[in-house]
Amino acid sequence: MFLDYYNLSPLLMQIHAFLCSVMPEWLALTLEGLVVGVFILVMYAVLAIILIYMERKVCAAFQCRIGPNRVGGKGGLLQVPADVLKILTKEIISLKHSDHFLYALAPFLVILASILTFSCLPWNKGGEILHMNIGIFFVLAASSIGVLGILLAGWSSNSKYTLIGAVRSGAMIISYELSIGLSVLTMVVMSGAMDIQTIVEGQANGWNIFKGHIPAIMAFIIYLIAGNAEANRGPFDLAEAEQELTAGYHTEYSGMHFGFFYLAEYLNLFITAGIATTLFLGGWMPLHIAGLDGLNMVMDYIPGFVWFIGKTFFIVFLLMWIRWTFPRLRIDQVLTLEWKYLMPLSLVVLLLMTVCKVFGLTF
């Protein structure tokens, strides 16, 4: 059984009680909210830098080249911070014939959806920033806001390239959300809860991907494919196909407005992997093997956030592997894959998991 060595809830409650003892409760809650907000933004930026650097190195490895190797020594560690500094100093250009309000609003909607979803990830026991009893439902709802930003960006820019990219993205994201939703619902049926912490704690004696055997493995594979598509990652990056659309829906954006789209893309990659970790790989739960009590005890001493981050980056690597292995699909192939194959298969997997749960066929 998982040991509560690193439960953050008692520490957070002590901090809250101390703040309430030296200031009014409303002021303590406001201060806590500000600290949490700053923490989210800092984590968001740090993870984006790590993921961009990792993407460049993984891409270089698959293409048999070195990757960043000048700025910051042979490893190129300062290349991404240098790019961040450059984009922060770039001018934000206002288009003459665009819808100025919607043009400016679009990148903020994309980043808002990403941050809301990011805040629901269960980093550790007691370490979930937004915790509610319908957490999975909230994640699916919040992640759907991003497509509005993409559609607004494509339409308001008054460019055929951005409009085509936005239409492609809208069709693709809305389509693949069905498979994502059905895969998530499959694991909700297995767990019997929509509370993210409850789902993770239910995997203390075994991760869902093992307990749910064939239906869980199939749901995991479907989720990875559909999640890759919803994050606009290759081979599903039709919305920003550089060879056809120069940059797709954010062609006309510059400066930090473009940076918001860029950040959201990489954080959506991490969020997709984080939700997969939560639903299928036990979240912050350690790996336990029946009969090996000594090994299980050692595993319990590893902090939960280490487990969560390690599993999540493993899935991130898998998604990067997919991107740099398969060629880009045509839009008709992308939609055919979803409507003719993934969605019917997702329904079958959901039905199969329901039967397994009703008759007690899960481990």
Span 128-171, pLDDT tens digits? 888 888 889 999 999 889 888 888 988 888 888 888 888 888 88
> Would you say the pTM of this structure is higher than 0.75?
yes
* Counted domains in the chain: 1
Q: Does the residue 27 lie in any domain?
A: yes
Q: Which residues of the chain have pLDDT under 50?
A: 1-2
Domain hosting 346: range is: 9-358
Q: Are 28 and 290 in contact (CB under 8 A)?
A: no
Q: Is 363 a domain residue?
A: no
Residue 72 · residue 79 · CB < 8 Å = yes
> Does 323 reside within a domain?
yes
Report yes or no on 4 lying in a domain.
no
92 falls within a domain: yes
Interval 112-133: pLDDT, tens? 999 999 999 999 888 888 888 8
Distances in Å between the alpha carbon of 257 and those of 12, 93, 152, 244, 260? 35, 9, 13, 22, 5
Looking at residue 1, its pLDDT comes to 47
pLDDT number for residue 4: 61
Residue 254 falls inside a structural domain: yes
3-state secondary structure of 66: coil
Residue 255's pLDDT is what? 86
Q: How many residues does the chain have?
A: 363
Inside any domain, residue 179: yes
pLDDT at 5: 59
Q: Is the dihedral of CA 33, 34, 40, 41 positive or negative?
A: positive
Per the domain annotation, does 2 fall within a domain?
no
State the Cα–Cα distance between residues 58 and 21, nearest whole angstrom.
50
Q: Residue 159 corresponds to which tokens in the numbers above?
A: 């460019």
Q: 14 Cβ partners below 8 Å, 6+ apart?
A: none
